[in-house]
Amino acid sequence: VRAVPWWDQRRPFSDSAAVKETLGALHSLVDRCNKLELKYRQLQGRFHQAHLVSLRTPLGSVVSEHLADLEDPSEAETAEIVSFCALDHHLDARTRCWANSQQDTEMRLDLVRRALEAKVKKLQGEIRALRAIEEDPRASAAAAAAAAAAASAGPPPHPAAPLGINQEEPEDIYAGPPTTFG
C-alpha cells in the first residue's frame, strides 16, 4: 500500500513549534529505520531485500518532488505532504489506511512519529537478538523465549501498531483510531 497525498481540512496548528519538531524528527526517523532495516536484512542473510531497502528514495527527495508541484507551499501544505510521504515503507497497511483516512495533519504526524519510533525500537531489539545468536548459538533459545514473552505482553499503546505487534483477530481488521487521540 503506497500513500497518496490528499489535502486535509485546513486548520491552524494547535502547536506550531511541536509540528516543526515532528517534521524534523520524521526525516531522521525514516533514515534510521532504513539503516536499521538494511542492517537487519543483511544479518538475516536476505541480501536481495537488503538491496531493495538500500534503493529507497530518501524522505527529503520524495517530499521535494511533491512540493515542486506547488507554488510557494505553506507550512501546512508542507506538513501534510511530509505526513503522507512518511507513511511509505515502514508502517503496516492497517496503520497507513487509518492515517490516510484522517484529515487532521497534526494527528497523522503524531501517529507516524510514534509508529516509526516503535519500529526503531523493534528493529534494534531484533538486531541485538540476531547478533547474540551469531555470538552464541545457545542464545537462540533464550531469544525465542524473550520474543514469546514480548508477544504476550499485552496490547500496544494504540490499535494501529506497526510490525504486527498487535495480534488481531480476523474480525478485528479495523479497530478505529488510536485510543490516545481524543
Q: Where along the chain do its domains lie? A: 16-139
Alpha carbons within 13 angstroms on the beta-carbon side of residue 30 total 24
**Mean predicted confidence (pLDDT) in 25-44:** 93
Q: Which amino acid is at 178?
A: P
Q: What is the pLDDT of residue 152?
A: 52
Q: What is the pLDDT of residue 155?
A: 42
Q: Which amino acid is at 74?
A: S
Instruction: Kindly tell me the number of DSSP H helices and DSSP E strands found in the chain.
Output: 7, 0
Q: What is the pLDDT of residue 160?
A: 45
pTM assigned to the model: 0.70
Distance CA 9, CA 63 (A): 20
Q: What is the pLDDT of residues 117-149, one digit of tens each?
A: 999 999 999 999 888 888 876 656 666 666 666
Residues of the chain above pLDDT 70, percent? 69
pLDDT surpassing 80 at residue 18: yes
Cell of 96: 497507513
